[in-house]
Amino acid sequence: MSLKTNWRYLLQIFLSFFKIGPVTFGGGYAMIPMIEREVVQKRKWVKTKEVSEIFAIAESVPGAIAINSATFIGYRLAGVKGAIIAMTGVLLPTFLIVVALSILFLFIKDNPFVESAFVGIRAAIVALIAFAAYKIGLTAIYDKTTLVITILTAAILYFLHIHPVLIIVGGIGLGIAVVNVKKLLGYATRLDRNDK
């Protein structure tokens, strides 16, 4: 591949992901069908089977799923350069929009109408977070152990104020330990909800 077409290819990757960002409100999961349409159906860069594998991994590693998927696809298409370009493409529009909204918010937040609107919005944000807990709970809680871990985590955070980062890191070790201890005791653990 000549240097010139290489740059054109990178630009195409950048633009594909740049387009996806600004139209997907409501978090990363909203971007998944958009990414699929762009890279599978339109560009034919990746096959459907591969892209679902990419989404599965994007979900398992730390970070936002949309950004992770873009980075992963970028890497598959054009190596490290592709990964960086795709990540920048997906991040840049939302970055600019959020900065614009932050500036706007600083200007209007003392307006009495905005103040009263935000009193109501804060209650809705609690509902949004509670709903996120409900949705992830559907896949996370399916036996006694996972139920106990969930309740303990919320209680420990509320009463003991341990840093959440420690709790998350602890969660990795705890998961591995619990599965192995149960195995030693002769119990099988279903590793996710759909395991038979």
Partner 1 sequence: MVLLDLFWTFLLIGFVSFGGGYAMIPVIELEVSQHGWMTTQEFTDVIAVAGMSPGPIATNSAIFVGYQTAGLSGAIVSALGMVIPSLLIILIIATFFFKFNELHIVKSAFYGLRPIITGLIIYAALNFAITNNVIGEISWHTFSLLVIFLLSFFALMKLRMHPIFVIALAGVYGIVLY
Q: Is 62 in the site for partner 1 (CB under 8 A)?
A: yes
Angstrom CA distances, 124 to 33, 113, 163, stand at 26, 17, 26
Cα–Cα dist 36/85, whole Å: 18
Q: How far is the CB of 94 from partner 1 (least distance, A)?
A: 3
Q: Is 83 in the site for partner 1 (CB under 8 A)?
A: yes
Choose, by CB under 8 A, the member of 11, 22, 47, 52 that binds partner 1: 22
Structure tokens at 61: 């590693």
The amino acid at 16: S
Choose, by CB under 8 A, the member of 41, 173, 185, 188 that binds partner 1: 173
Q: How far is the CB of 6 from partner 1 (least distance, A)?
A: 19
Q: Is 52 in the site for partner 1 (CB under 8 A)?
A: no
Per CB under 8 A, contacts with partner 1 among 99-128 are 99, 101-103, 105-106, 109, 113, 116-128
Cβ neighbour number for residue 161 with a 10 Å cutoff: 8
Q: Is 134 in the site for partner 1 (CB under 8 A)?
A: yes
Q: How far is the CB of 117 from partner 1 (least distance, A)?
A: 4
Tell me how far the alpha carbon of residue 174 is from its chain's centroid: 22
Per CB under 8 A, contacts with partner 1 among 32-51 are none
Which CB, 14 or 72, lies closer to partner 1? 72
DSSP letter, residue 85: H
Per CB under 8 A, contacts with partner 1 among 151-170 are 151-154, 156-158, 163-165, 167-170
Cβ neighbour number for residue 16 with a 10 Å cutoff: 22
Helix (H, G, I), strand (E, B) or coil at 111: coil
Q: HSE (CB half, 13 Å, CA atoms) of 174? A: 13
